[in-house]
Structure 1
Amino acid sequence: MRALTAVDVGVSKMGHLDAKTHELIALAVAVTTRCDGCIAVHTKKAIDLGLTREEIAEALSVAISLNAGAALTYSAHVLEAVDTLPDQ
C-alpha cells in the first residue's frame, strides 16, 4: 500500500494536469477496469474537488466509447484465432 500511495502522490505532483483532470481520468480507468474500490475512492475525490455530475458523465461517456471500441477490436482477435484453428 505504501508503494501504491507513493506512486499516486508522485503522479499528482507532476503538475501538467490539474487535480480535476486526474480524477476524471481515474474514474474512466476505474470503469474500464471494473474496479469498485477505485470507483468509490475516485468518485468521492471528484466530488470533493467540485466536479459536477455532468462533467463526470462526460468523462464516463469517453470511457464507454473507448471500451466499446476495444471490445470490438478484441472480438476481431477472437474471430481471427477461431479462423486459425484446425477444423474439428
Structure 2
Amino acid sequence: MLDWNQYRSELMTRIGEIAKASPETVKGYQQLSAAGKQTNQLDAKTRELIALAVAVTTRCDGCIAVHAKAATDNGATKGEIAEALGVAVALNAGAALVYSARVMDAVDAAQ
C-alpha cells in the first residue's frame, strides 16, 4: 500500500511549486475551499467525512491523503469514516469500494 504520509508531504511540496508558478490559481483554489467553511452549518468533522466520500467517488488520491488526516485530526472515528464511505459505495458501487480500501489505508497511516 501507499505511504500516505510521505505522499501527502510530496504533494504539498508540488502544490507549493505550482503556487510559485501560478499563485492566482492556488489562491483561487484556497478561497473556494475556504468558502464552504464560512457558513458553519456543518462542523469540521462532518465536512471531512463528506470530503472523504467525494474523494472516493472522484478517485482523488491527493484528496484522500489530505482529508483522511484532517478527518482523524477532527475526531472522526474509523466507524464514522466507514459509514461515510458506505454512502460513496452505494452511489458509486464497485469503483468506490476499491477506493474505500485506499481511504482506510490512509486513515491507518494517519493515526
TM-score with structure 1 setting the length: 0.74
5 Å-filtered alignment, 1:9-28, equals: 9-28=34-53
Structure 1 residues not aligned, in runs of 5+: 69-88
Structure with greater helix percent: 2
Q: Greater relative contact order (Cα 8 A, min sep 6): structure 1 or 2?
A: 2
Structure possessing the higher radius of gyration over alpha carbons: 1
Q: Which residue of 1 aligns with 2:90?
A: 65
Query: How many correspondences in the alignment?
Result: 69
Aligned-residue offset at 1:8: 1.1
Aligned-residue offset at 1:31: 0.2
Residue identity opposite 1:63 in structure 2: A
TM-score with structure 2 setting the length: 0.60
- Report % sequence identity: 60
1:36 and 2:61 equivalent? yes
- CA shift digits 1:13-51 (9 cap, x unpaired): 111111111001100000000000000000000010011
> Take 1:10 and 1:66, find their aligned partners in 2: how far apart are those partners?
26
Which SS does the other structure have where 2:71 is aligned? Answer: helix
Structure 2 residues not aligned, in runs of 5+: 1-25, 94-111
